[in-house]
Structure 1
Amino acid sequence: MNLPALLAHALWRGVRISRFWLALAGLSAVGALPVSAAESLTLAAGAGYKRPVSELAAAFERRSGIRIEPFFGHMGQVLAQARQSDRVAVVFGDQAFLEGAGQPAFARYLPAGRGRLVLAWPTGRTLAKPEELVAPQFARIALPDERQAVYGKAASQFLARSGLAKKLEGRLLMVANVPQVSAYLVGGEVDAGFINLTDALGVRERIGGFVEIDPALHDEIRIVGGVVSGHENLPGVQALAEFLASPEAQAILIRHGL
């Protein structure tokens, strides 16, 4: 090999060696990152709690450095995801609903607040009390599917216990979940609808108003984070439990009507 070729070969080897040491240095730097930076926690929640859970997740990430991977849907979808994937660590929802689900099993429940049912109406309508629903102008009244959403169940209980169920036969429109009822209210596609206070606060600028339903007329709604069995010893779970009890988290929950 002549001198120019030898020089070129040496230079090429030098570049390869430099790249090798740079790559090795990069790997060392990654290995030196805090453990929390590489951690993540998958949370699932009913679609009606997307706003508070998203805000809680963002605040928790800032405080702990643990990344949150959220999943939202109606509770049937949420529980199916938790059963099928071993990544879901915490499911937010009504404690009674989670306890009755059978699978997945839950090791513990992290308190998050009390759910509140409201009756809302679109812009252009007005209601002073739920009994006024019997008026003919309230021809389409939406509520979430009681088989999939705790607020659908609570709405059905209220209608039965208040004596309104029979008076409103033929006017009730059952839809998938709370956000869908809210979308119909915002779009003026229904004359009234049952949703939770959390969602009502989120769309209050785009609807006519809402009134809270007497909680004595439906079962108590205890919103919790159910820790899926097998995940209770994850560091992120304990950190989340401590965060939910903090003043910062409590302020977020109260602001969202919990």
Structure 2
Amino acid sequence: MTRTFCWAIIGALLLSSGCGDSDRASSRRTVTVLAAASLTNAIQEVADAWSQESGEPFRISFGPSNALAQQILAGAPADVYLSANEKWGDALAEQDRIERRVSLLSNRLVWIVPKANRAGIHAPSEIREKAKLIALAGENVPAGMYADQSLQASGLLKQLSDRIVRGNDVRTTLAYVEEGEVDVGIVYATDAAITDQVTVIGELDPQSYDPILYPAILLKNAEPTAVDFFAFLQSPVAGEIFKRHGFVVLPVEAGEQHDAG
């Protein structure tokens, strides 16, 4: 076999190893991860670190937790699912789609305004008077559900309902505020931290909404290498990445990891 021919085969198979490693490399299966939009930056970095360490390929799709769960229930191929709340993990458990599950991370909600702040809102107490448009994530999206709970608890949800604009997910909500399309919005603290186009004017009372928990879920019939990725999510290396992105990393013993059955 000529060297040129060898490299042609490698290119056709999209492999990076030499001819002698082709059988091993071609047996690899890409780990498919579906993750909540608020995890975009952190999970991308974690997956990159895992792939660099393991040499295994991965594919990630980000979106609203509810839409991703519904895709899984409809039969979309996936190995690992990371939601921004437990509700959608429960929905998968009810359909016996879970192999293992652990509560991995936590977060908090903040009020943000555009950098320009044309409405002149400098504190949450000014929102009712000054805000004409308020951005929240969708009613079935975890960030929107938590925000609704908090506004309901404070008596503001009904008062502000005709001013609320819903984003498809929390990153869309963030974009509405960044671009000045609304006067104020509610997003996760981790989302507010990734941009210099918004200003945080206050944190929502964490007692006014359910605890924000991100379950990591290994799905039934996942690729064997996905088990390694699932374990890596709980590793000190991944934990440091999550912390750097502003997430609270939950103790493994608090996550109640278990085999579904």
TM-score range, shorter chain: 0.7 to 0.9
Aligned partner of 1:146 in structure 2 is 139
Larger Rg: 1
The superposition leaves residues 4-59 of structure 1 with CA deviations (integer Å, 9 ceiling, x where unpaired) of xxxxxxxxxxxxxx669955996895452584783320000122221111111111
Question: How far apart, CA to CA, are the structure 1 residues paired with 2:164 and 2:224?
Answer: 46
Q: For the Cα contact (< 8 Å) 2:137–2:166, is it kept in 1?
A: yes
Where do residues 17-96 of structure 1 align in structure 2 (5 Å cutoff)?
Answer: 29-30=18-19, 32-33=21-22, 35=24, 38-85=28-75, 87-93=77-83, 94-96=85-87
Question: How far apart, CA to CA, are the structure 2 residues paired with 1:138 and 1:68?
Answer: 43
User: Which residues of structure 2 form unaligned runs of 5+?
Assistant: 11-16, 248-261
Q: For the Cα contact (< 8 Å) 1:82–1:104, is it kept in 2?
A: no
Aligned residues: 236
Aligned partner of 2:257 in structure 1 is none
Normalising by structure 2, we get a TM-score of: 0.79
The superposition leaves residues 130-172 of structure 1 with CA deviations (integer Å, 9 ceiling, x where unpaired) of 333212x21111101121x101000000000112223323222
Aligned partner of 1:183 in structure 2 is 175
Percentage identity across paired residues of the two chains: 27
Distance change in 2, residues 1:128/1:33 (3 Å): same
Question: How far apart, CA to CA, are the structure 2 residues paired with 1:57 and 1:106?
Answer: 21
The superposition leaves residues 196-240 of structure 1 with CA deviations (integer Å, 9 ceiling, x where unpaired) of 12211112x111334322211001121121111222xx4323312
Question: How far apart, CA to CA, are the structure 2 residues paired with 1:65 and 1:257?
Answer: 27
Aligned partner of 2:240 in structure 1 is 251
Match of residue 173, structure 1, among 162, 165, 168 = 165
Where do residues 93-112 of structure 1 align in structure 2 (5 Å cutoff)?
Answer: 93=83, 94-101=85-92, 102-103=94-95, 105-112=97-104
Where do residues 231-242 of structure 1 align in structure 2 (5 Å cutoff)?
Answer: 231=222, 234-242=223-231
Q: Over aligned residues, Cα RMSD in angstroms?
A: 2.9
Aligned partner of 2:126 in structure 1 is 132
Q: Which amino acid aligns with 1:87?
A: P
Question: How far apart, CA to CA, are the structure 2 residues paired with 1:35 and 1:116?
Answer: 44
Distance change in 2, residues 1:36/1:90 (3 Å): farther
Match of residue 195, structure 1, among 182, 187, 191 = 187
Question: How far apart, CA to CA, are the structure 2 residues paired with 1:24 and 1:190?
Answer: 54
**Bigger fraction of residues in helix:** 1
Normalising by structure 1, we get a TM-score of: 0.80
Please identify, of 189-198 and 126-135, the stretch whose mean Cα deviation from structure 2 is larger: 126-135
User: Which residues of structure 1 form unaligned runs of 5+?
Assistant: 1-17
Shift of the alpha carbon at 1:122? 0.8
Q: Secondary structure at the match of 1:257?
A: coil
Aligned partner of 1:211 in structure 2 is 202
Distance change in 2, residues 1:246/1:127 (3 Å): farther
Shift of the alpha carbon at 1:179? 1.2
Distance change in 2, residues 1:103/1:132 (3 Å): farther
Q: For the Cα contact (< 8 Å) 2:99–2:219, is it kept in 1?
A: yes
Question: How far apart, CA to CA, are the structure 2 residues paired with 1:253 and 1:155?
Answer: 22
Aligned partner of 1:161 in structure 2 is 153
